[in-house]
Every structure is written in C-alpha cells, then in structure tokens.
Structure 1
C-alpha cells in the first residue's frame, strides 16, 4: 500500500483508505499494490470516495456464503452452488443483488446454517500514519477457513423432518411405542426428551399427535402389506413347510353379541382381506371357546372347540366337590402375602432361615384352573415357612391354619392334577396341533382311570375309549404309570380322580368320534394309528382320508423349506404314549398308494417335529403332504387369541384410557405380529 505523506497537517491531502479483503480463493487483494487495471470483475464492488477526488475502490465480497457459491461468468445476476451446481438468482439488477436466496439454499437444500464471517483484525498494531485496514485472515492461515467454516455451522444445524437420519429415529421411536406398549405421550416426557437429545442433539422429536396420526399408521400399513403377501403365497397353491401364525384383525364389536352378528362380522373382515389379497381366502378351521353364541355362529365352518377351555371346565367342575376348604385357605394365605409387604418380608426371612427357594406365593385366577394347581404347588413347596407364618399371625376372619391332613390332601391333589397340567401346557404351545389331542387325551384318561381304580365313580360306564379286545392291556399300561401314586392316594384324592374321569367322558367323548381329529392324528407321523382307542376303525378312517383327498386339487412339487422345532422333555403322558406305540402293532396292509406307503413308512419319535418329516416327503407324496399340513397347521386351543386380549388390555391402560378404537387396533396388530416375527426386516434389530 502507499500513503501520501506531508510535513504539514494544514496542507495534507485527503486520506485514502484501502480495504484489503480475502476472496473466495483465499487470496489477498490489494488494489494499490497489485497494479491491476481499473476494470472491475463481477465479484468486485466500487466504493467512491466522499470528496470525489480519488478513483473508486474495488472490494471483494466478504460474506462467508461465497465459500459455497461462484458468480456465473455468463450472467452476473446468477450464483452457482459449488455443492450441487444449481443456479440461483442474486437479484434483478446490480443495485438489488443480495445473498438471501443463497443462504436459504444452503439451509433448506444442504441443511447448513447461515455462516458467520470469520474475520480477525491484524494482530500487529498499525503505525500512526498508516490508515490501511486489513479484514480477513492473513496469508498462510486461509487454508483452514473454508471447509471448516461449513463444517462448523453444519454440525450444529438440526435435522429437517425429511432428513434420512431424522426419519430413521422417528420410525424407531414409533416401533418402541408399539412393541413396548408405551403411551404416545412418552415423547413429551422430560426424561425421554433428555435422553434423545443426548444421543442425537440434532434430532427434533415430533409431537405425540404426529406419532399417533402418521408414524404408527404407516407402520400398521407396512406390516399389513407383509401379511397380504403372506396370504397371497399361502393361497397360491405352493406348499411352504414352515410354521407361521399371524393376527389379521382385532376390533370392537359394539353391537349385541348374537350368533348372527358374530357371523356377519367374521365374513365382513374376511371380505376386507380378500379385497386386499385380490383373491379368495380359504378358511380351513375356526377355533373358539365353547360359548353358545360362538358355537351357533360357526356352524358354516369346520369348528374346533378349544380343548384347553374344555379341560378347564373338567377340572373346575371336579374341584367343586373335593378340597373346597383347603382351596379357600390357600387363596387367603396367598392373597395376604401378595397384599402385605410385612407378610412378604416375613416369608423372605423364613425362606432364608429354612433354606427354602426364594419364591413368592401364587394366587389363582378364575379363568385358568392351572393357576389353582400352581398355587397349591407353591404352598407345598413353602410348607414349613407357611406353617410358621399362619401360627404367628391371623390373616383374616376365616381360619387359615392348614392342618396335616390338609397338607396331605394338597399333595394328593397335585398328583392327580399333574397330568392335566402337563396336557394343558403341551396343547397351549405355539407349535401344538389338533393331531395331538386324541393321543394326549387317551393317555390322560388312562392315567386318571388308573388313579381311582377301586373307587366307584358316579357313572361306571366310563370306559368309552377302549374296545373289548385290548381293554385289559390298555388299562394295565395306565396302571404301570400311576401304580405307585395310587397306593399312597387318600380317599378324597381318589374321589377327585373319579370325578375327573367322569367329566372327561362327558365332554371329550365326541372328539374320539370326530373325523377331523382322527385324520389329523393319522397324518401325524409320531402317532399314525398306534395311539387310537381300540374301538376306532382304522380301515374306515383310511377310506375317509382317500375320499377327502380326492376333493383336493393336485399340487405341484414345491421348494423345500423347513423349520427346526426343539424337542420336548419326557413326561408321564408321553411315557404312556411311547409304551402304547410299542405295545400295539400297526394294523395296515401292503403299501398300495400314497396313504399305504405313508402308513408303512417308519415312525418318528414323539419328540420329533412332524412338519420336518413332511418336508422330506414333498417330492414323494405332494397331495398327501398338502392334506396333512392343512390338518397339522390347526391349533387345538384358542390360547393365541386369548393372549391378544391380554395385549389389548395392556394397550388400554390408565395412561391410555382415551385411545381411539382404530389406534388400539393398530397398536395390538403391530405388537402381536412383531412378537410372532411376521415382519421381514421391519422389526429386526
């Protein structure tokens, strides 16, 4: 730079100020020393002196936004983005040029905040006669002032709603709400917002209304679309040897629950799914409880009554006549320990002193007899601690001391009810099939009958499952299983076994003549005909099987697809069935056709998976395989549906008592199907 000097302040010429700035390329421009011509480039601006004497100065632009833009050589009114090469207008003419549109482009397109000028004044003091002012960084330091500037303001810029990362986090929060049954208001809780802000500071949590009206409905539609694809594959004639279960619909039936209304509602829901699938959806079986309106509504379909519910009625009816006083005391003691923290702490102290398992007592539930079994089982386990507690304090107005003879009755009741608990648990598994009903009931009835041998039942004609030929052998097998238990049972326990045997006959006798259950058992390679009662005509059953198979369309050979199922542990009922299989030979003829070839084929273990067996027979017997899998796919209980209502009860909690019915349906649909793993990657971690 050059300054005009004078020895006299009175005759000093006007002071000229030269502004030296840093351009977008990091070069320092000094008009006075550069010796350049007076031509102004598009990136320069004239600043005239106030006295009109000196020529105008050329100034480079100082806005940091020009780190991301250049002026178009063909049209100075246009700026070109260095990031995406877009052209933006600077204004209609040179007098109205501005950078507003450029800043907005960086903000909304590239998600970058408006940058600030990184300018520092010269660190060295200016001489008294020097009037030049230098703006910007010095040479040699500009290399870190371009990219770091953009990085600095981009790092603090919040994600827009359409940013991929923002969408991903929002979707994950929606999945959390559905799978963990959280209320929509969780996104407004201070702790949750603090956690999300710590994990991703640039993410802005949407409102709870956005989750209830947008996020969850989108997840619902995505999962529903996957269910539609599964139904299309199932109805397309292709056999998939894989166990699958899914929830299609859950809703509010706000009209009278008559059989006609139930049937109309069922048909309407199936029509909606058929429209979504684009083809007819076949209902093979319908499983429900034994309510009269349900039984009447489902007469048009192949109705399977819930075996678990029938077993519940059998046990509850029998317990009304035996052990009522004992059960009343057990409920009082268990309920008191659950309600009283003092009693619970005392139980824990006694468990430690007596070296007992650290288990809490269990209260029974009216809708499940097995909870009564678990309540007695836990009391017997904690007998010494419970005896001390009942002697120390009064747990209510009714007497709660359990006497020695009642403790003996409790143990005997557990012995009698144990086979029922085993069968109920086996039939409630998600892999259970109606093919297991007849074998398990056959073993159950034989064992219970052996437990009350010598005790007259109210109806002596309870040998409804055995024929004349092998009656003694069959009863003998049951006696071998329970002989030791019968010897030590008291009179009350044997009476309980007799009542249970009578109830089993009355409620389950029709099942042993039901062709659907018989065919399912015959097509289960674990059982075939070996576990049938002796009065079942196997030859007639095979003719029925062939007749029904003729109604099925031929099946193309499908691709093999198997799924492993873990084996179950041996139990008393399974032990009986194993002995039954080995004691009674197969009653078949020489192989002639698929059915005869299947019956002549080797059996598999009771703990093996029948679906895996049929996966190896797809090439050999495609039609028989299809028919077999249709029967093996039907569950014997409605436990899965009852669990849906438990889920719905958890959804409509006190924190979400005002949920819209459509939101309840969506949340339950997503929760249940996610737990059943019916989403291909949608809910995978």
Structure 2
C-alpha cells in the first residue's frame, strides 16, 4: 500500500517496501482544528484510502527540522482539491465536537479548577413552573411527603436540596409555603374525589373509630372506612383524624362521627339504602354515642377488644398468673431503670452465646404486651439471674428471688 512519510536527514533510516509505518506525524492546517500532530496522524490512518487516492505516487520528503510547514504549502498549492476537501471535513468535525462540549462556566482566572455546586446550578437552565416535568416532580414530591409522613420543612433542608440538585439540576424545589397551601390541598382534593366515588358505588360501609391522645396531650378521633368491592377486594380508607378538644360525652362523639362520615358519604345520614356499620371498643361513652346515631347506622363491638377484656378479667381471678406477671414486671423495671444492668445483660447474653432478647414491659392499651413480657422473661431468666447475682447490693436480692420464681414458672407457662 503506498504511503506518505517524512524522513529527517539525521535519522538515516532505511524503510523496506513492505513496512507501513509513519516516521513523522503530519501537522494539520491551521483551520483544521487539530491541536496536535497526533490528531492529524490519527485522521490520516482512518482515511488511508483517500490519502492514497490523493497521492498516487508518493515520494519521501526530506526535512531538516521537525515541522510540516513546507508539506502544508506543498499540499495547498499542488493538491488544491484534496486540501479543500480535507479542510472542509475537519472543520465540520471540530464544529460538531464543540457543540457536544458544555459551555465553560468557570470564573475568570479559575481555568482547570473544579467549580462549586452553586456556580454550576446557577448556570443550568431551570424548568419553568408550568413545565410538565416540574409538575410531575412536584406531584411525586408531595406524595412522598404524605406517604412517608415527612415534615413540610424538608424542602428547606440543605442536605435534601443538594441531593435534589445533584439528581436533576434543572428542577427547582417548591417552597414550604407553596407545598402547604397549594400542592398538598390539591392532592388531598384529588384523592378525596376518588375515594368518594368508590364509596358511592357500594351499599354497605364499615366504619371503625377510636379516640387517642397525642404526646402533646391533644385529643383526636380517628375514622376509617372499609368496603368490599364487586371483585371481592377489601379496601381501607382513613377518612378523618378529627381534633376533639371538647368533652368526650355521647352527644359530642355522635355528632363528630356523623359529620365526618357525611363529608365523604353525602347520603349516609338520610339515605337508608346506604348501611353504615360502626365498629368500636367497649368504652361506655362510645357505646352511648352509638345509640344516638341515625337509623341507618348499626353499632358493633370489636371482638378482639371484647376477648381481651375477658382475658384480663380471667387473669385477675388466677392468683398464680398474677404472681408471675408481678415478678416479670419487677425484673423488667429493674433493667429498664439501670443502664449498667442493661449493659451487663447484653454482655452476659454474648458470653453465654444466647439470643439477644430484649425485655418488654406490659402496657394496658397493648393487648399482647403482657404475653410478650412473660415470654421475654422466660427466655432470658438465666441471663437475668446471672446478672442480678453478680450485683452484690442488698436491694437486688429481691430481684433474684423474682428471677428464680420466673425460671421456676416458665416451664408451666
């Protein structure tokens, strides 16, 4: 294959006819856009067939120094067609490569340095507020905050803002005010309309309600609807968590419950074709409120709560069970009130290669807590006994006796 080569005089290298190596890199013309001789050599190798067509009888060109100015002038004057075609193609290649490169947004005098995130984001084209991509991102952000029960101030957190800018610099987070007064109410109205449509398609709706008090000592009443679709699919909807600062007497509870259900099922208070079944616990005020409900309401007692009351009353009559429960509670209180004892218990479980069981205390409003407390005491009675035995203080002797009693009773539980 014919080839072009520049052979310096000092080299005095004899090239064989079969060798196809380039001895000196050809330098491109000034307007070609090639920044080095290696770029031009790479292009020539990729278009070797065209080069052979332009130079059918190539001859070695001797040069006393390492530049290609004479070669450039030779091609420009004696091979004008090839020179113009090559220049045009290289200019198109350089123009296309410049379009793909990002705009230099670095500050003057900072060339080659990494720019800050704030500088990069400030030069990014932001999506408009009414852009479909912005609206879709706002919707998903609102759903995430509602589903995960995140605070609305999340959009103002520095770490979250930096995280979102890294994922998508073109997206601008909504303000807390816009989220509070626009995005969340809009999502609430859309979901409410969808739920109301589903509730209107059924003839029977089951309502569960209960009262609870927050840590701030504020009273609330929760209302949840349960329906069964035509496809035999059970669906649950939390209709309301109503704030009830007033007295929890029968009249106030009945009125609040009916108002909450009416806001979702307009015909629930008057239309007798829509049957509402209210399931609640056995509290006296709730039972009295259910008797004041309209005719199409029917009250039912929660079976699980009724069963729990039976078990609770039965345990009071069983003296042996009360002794075990009391001893378990004393042991749990001892370890919960002493960080030193808790640390010692964990170390004892690790030394004895026992499972890491945690002691749980019973709670009146958590029905399974008594069983979980006894079960945990029975599984850790040996470790607890060892920990209390190593504590030599006089007050802990009573705890040792309780622990022995639990160990002795665990086999019969």
- TM tier relative to shorter chain: 0.5 to 0.7
How many residues matched?
276
Whether 2:275 is the aligned partner of 1:283: answer yes
Whether 2:295 is the aligned partner of 1:296: answer no
Aligned position for 1:185: 153
- Distance in 2 separating the partners of 1:142 and 1:368: 74
Q: CA deviation at 1:150?
A: 11
Whether 2:256 is the aligned partner of 1:258: answer no
Whether 2:323 is the aligned partner of 1:332: answer no
CA RMSD of superposed structures (Å): 3.6
Q: Is the 8 A contact 1:336 1:395 kept in 2?
A: no
- Distance in 1 separating the partners of 2:377 and 2:197: 50
2:352 to 351, 354, 362: 354
TM-score where L is the length of structure 1 = 0.36
- Distance in 1 separating the partners of 2:241 and 2:395: 42
Whether 2:364 is the aligned partner of 1:372: answer no
Aligned position for 2:232: 241
Q: CA deviation at 1:260?
A: 1.7
Classify 1:231/1:258 alpha carbon distance in 2 versus 1 (closer, same or farther; 3 Å).
same
1:222 to 185, 190, 201: 190
Higher relative contact order at CA 8 Å, sep ≥6: structure 1 or structure 2?
A: 1
Aligned position for 1:31: none
- Distance in 1 separating the partners of 2:315 and 2:371: 11
Aligned position for 1:400: 399
> Is there any run of 5+ residues in structure 2 with no aligned partner, and where?
1-86, 106-121, 205-227
1:55-104 CA distance string (max 9 Å, x none):
xxxxxxxxxxxxxxxxxxxxxxxxxxxxxxxxxxxxxxxxxxxxxxxxxx
Aligned position for 1:387: 385
Q: Is the 8 A contact 1:186 1:192 kept in 2?
A: yes
Q: Is the 8 A contact 2:361 2:373 kept in 1?
A: yes
- Distance in 1 separating the partners of 2:303 and 2:259: 27
Aligned position for 1:273: 264
* Partner SS for 1:257: coil
> Is there any run of 5+ residues in structure 1 with no aligned partner, and where?
1-137, 415-685
Q: Is the 8 A contact 1:184 1:212 kept in 2?
A: yes
Classify 1:146/1:403 alpha carbon distance in 2 versus 1 (closer, same or farther; 3 Å).
closer
Q: CA deviation at 1:408?
A: 3.3
Q: Is the 8 A contact 2:357 2:379 kept in 1?
A: no
Q: Is the 8 A contact 1:177 1:183 kept in 2?
A: yes
* Partner SS for 1:246: strand
> Once structures 1 and 2 are overlaid, which stretch shifts more, 150-159 or 213-222?
150-159
Q: Residues 99-114 of structure 1 correspond to what in structure 2 (within 5 A)? A: none
Q: CA deviation at 1:400?
A: 1.6
Aligned position for 1:169: 137
Classify 1:395/1:328 alpha carbon distance in 2 versus 1 (closer, same or farther; 3 Å).
farther
- Distance in 1 separating the partners of 2:187 and 2:358: 40
Whether 2:311 is the aligned partner of 1:319: answer no
1:308 to 304, 307, 317: 304
Q: CA deviation at 1:398?
A: 8.9
Aligned position for 1:480: none
Q: Is the 8 A contact 2:381 2:403 kept in 1?
A: no
- Distance in 2 separating the partners of 1:325 and 1:246: 43
Q: Is the 8 A contact 1:185 1:208 kept in 2?
A: yes
Q: CA deviation at 1:354?
A: 2.2
1:584-632 CA distance string (max 9 Å, x none):
xxxxxxxxxxxxxxxxxxxxxxxxxxxxxxxxxxxxxxxxxxxxxxxxx
- Distance in 2 separating the partners of 1:291 and 1:179: 31
Classify 1:226/1:150 alpha carbon distance in 2 versus 1 (closer, same or farther; 3 Å).
farther
1:130-181 CA distance string (max 9 Å, x none):
xxxxxxxx97359837993998599920122222222222222222222222
TM-score where L is the length of structure 2 = 0.58
Q: Is the 8 A contact 1:312 1:369 kept in 2?
A: yes
Q: Is the 8 A contact 1:228 1:276 kept in 2?
A: no
Q: Residues 461-500 of structure 1 correspond to what in structure 2 (within 5 A)? A: none
Q: CA deviation at 1:380?
A: 0.5
**More strand per residue:** 2
* Partner SS for 1:331: helix
Classify 1:336/1:208 alpha carbon distance in 2 versus 1 (closer, same or farther; 3 Å).
farther
Q: Is the 8 A contact 1:166 1:203 kept in 2?
A: yes
Classify 1:217/1:335 alpha carbon distance in 2 versus 1 (closer, same or farther; 3 Å).
farther
Q: Is the 8 A contact 2:385 2:403 kept in 1?
A: no
Classify 1:294/1:398 alpha carbon distance in 2 versus 1 (closer, same or farther; 3 Å).
farther
Classify 1:177/1:336 alpha carbon distance in 2 versus 1 (closer, same or farther; 3 Å).
farther
